Amino acid sequence: MDKPKSSPSERLFSLSGKTACVTGASSGLGRHVASYLAQNGVTVVGIARREEQLVEWQASVPNKTYAISADLSDKAILADIASHVIDTAGNPDILINAAGINTRQAGDDVTPGGWATTLDLNLTAPFFLAQSFVPGMKKNKWGRIVNFASLQTYRAFPGGIAYGATKAGIAQVTRAMAEDWSRHGITSNAIAPGFFNTELTQAVFADTELAARHAKQTCIGRNGELSDLDGPIQFLCSNASSYVTGQVLAVDGGFTAK
């Protein structure tokens, strides 16, 4: 019996047969994105610092996945990590830079060490991982880079000096990547999530009144649910977004529109 032919829209958004590298795959938004891609026919290499949680993620996804435990804030090993990814699953078609840290320190309390770690993980690692994978993407004349920005790309939050600086920087890195590499079929875009209940935002959601105020600030009237990321990720990683590059897409329920 012949297999039914896929529709033009299905082919436009299809991710089947692609390979993705997802950082921050052990928890939060990174884990959800890594799982979503794997469940939609993508071979996923998940990278995270915490090996136990990363292995648990891998076991939770029945499709083809690989796990690499590494501290991406150590910029001296980024080239080796990229080589490990390529040796494990081939050069990725898709890179999702979701790993991040937010120390939530007031300006008076920021230390040189904390500042450096935040910049290295949130800004340095996304660029140099992309740089390592671009040659293979150029060879294939196809690639998708999706960085994770933030509400703090646009706005100042308490305790957000270092984090906010990196998330403003990731918007410009995204644009600069697009300028350099888009002519080779490699798009570079970013997602700026609103408030999602994850490990990184536990302090926010532990305060129910604060979480409710954030929900009220959105146009939609609620905080984010992990499934709200699925459509934007599908779009930005597929052929549907082939003429979209250098953009930051706010997935925030309209928080930044008000």
**Number of alpha helices (DSSP H) and beta strands (DSSP E) in the chain:** 10, 7
pLDDT at 199: 81
Strands annotated E in the chain: 19-23, 43-48, 65-69, 94-97, 143-148, 186-193, 248-251
Give the contacts of 231 (CB within 8 A, at least 6 positions apart).
none
Structural domain contains residue 204: no
Instruction: List the domain range (segments joined by +) for residue 165.
Output: 13-194+227-257
pTM for the model? 0.94
Token readout for 250 is 């706010």
Which sequence positions are flagged as catalytic?
163
Q: How many domains does the chain have?
A: 1
Structural domain contains residue 208: no
| Residue 85 near residue 111 (C-beta atoms within 8 A) | no
pLDDT value at 4 more than 90:
no
pLDDT band at 75 (very low <50, low <70, confident <90, very high): very high
**DSSP 8-state class, residue 4:** P
Based on the number of CB atoms within 10 Å of its own CB, is 128 exposed (0-12), middle (13-18) or buried (19 or more)?
A: middle
Whole-number Cα distances in Å, 10 to 4, 78, 153, 154, 168: 12, 35, 33, 34, 34
pLDDT band at 216 (very low <50, low <70, confident <90, very high): very high
pLDDT value at 202 more than 90:
no
Structural domain contains residue 209: no
Q: In the chain, which ranges are continuous DSSP H helix?
A: 8-13, 28-39, 51-60, 78-89, 112-119, 125-140, 161-181, 202-206, 208-217, 230-237
Structural domain contains residue 148: yes
Query: Rounded mean pLDDT of 132-154?
Result: 98
Local structure of 40: helix, strand or coil: coil
Query: Rounded mean pLDDT of 55-82?
Result: 94
Token readout for 169 is 């920087």
pLDDT band at 1 (very low <50, low <70, confident <90, very high): low
pLDDT at 69: 97
Structural domain contains residue 213: no
pLDDT at 2: 59
The rounded distance, in Å, linking the Cα atoms of 130 and 138 is 12
- Give the mean pLDDT of the chain: 95
pLDDT value at 173 more than 80:
yes
Q: CATH number of the domain at 67, please.
A: 3.40.50.720
Query: Rounded mean pLDDT of 25-52?
Result: 96
**DSSP 8-state class, residue 120:** I
For a pLDDT cut of 90, what percent of the chain falls above it?
88
pLDDT at 169: 98
Give the contacts of 117 (CB within 8 A, at least 6 positions apart).
73, 101
| Residue 23 near residue 99 (C-beta atoms within 8 A) | yes
Token readout for 212 is 């409710």
Structural domain contains residue 8: no
pLDDT at 3: 60
Structural domain contains residue 242: yes
Structural domain contains residue 7: no
Query: Rounded mean pLDDT of 138-156?
Result: 97
- What value does the CA radius of gyration of the chain take, rounded to a whole number of Å? 18
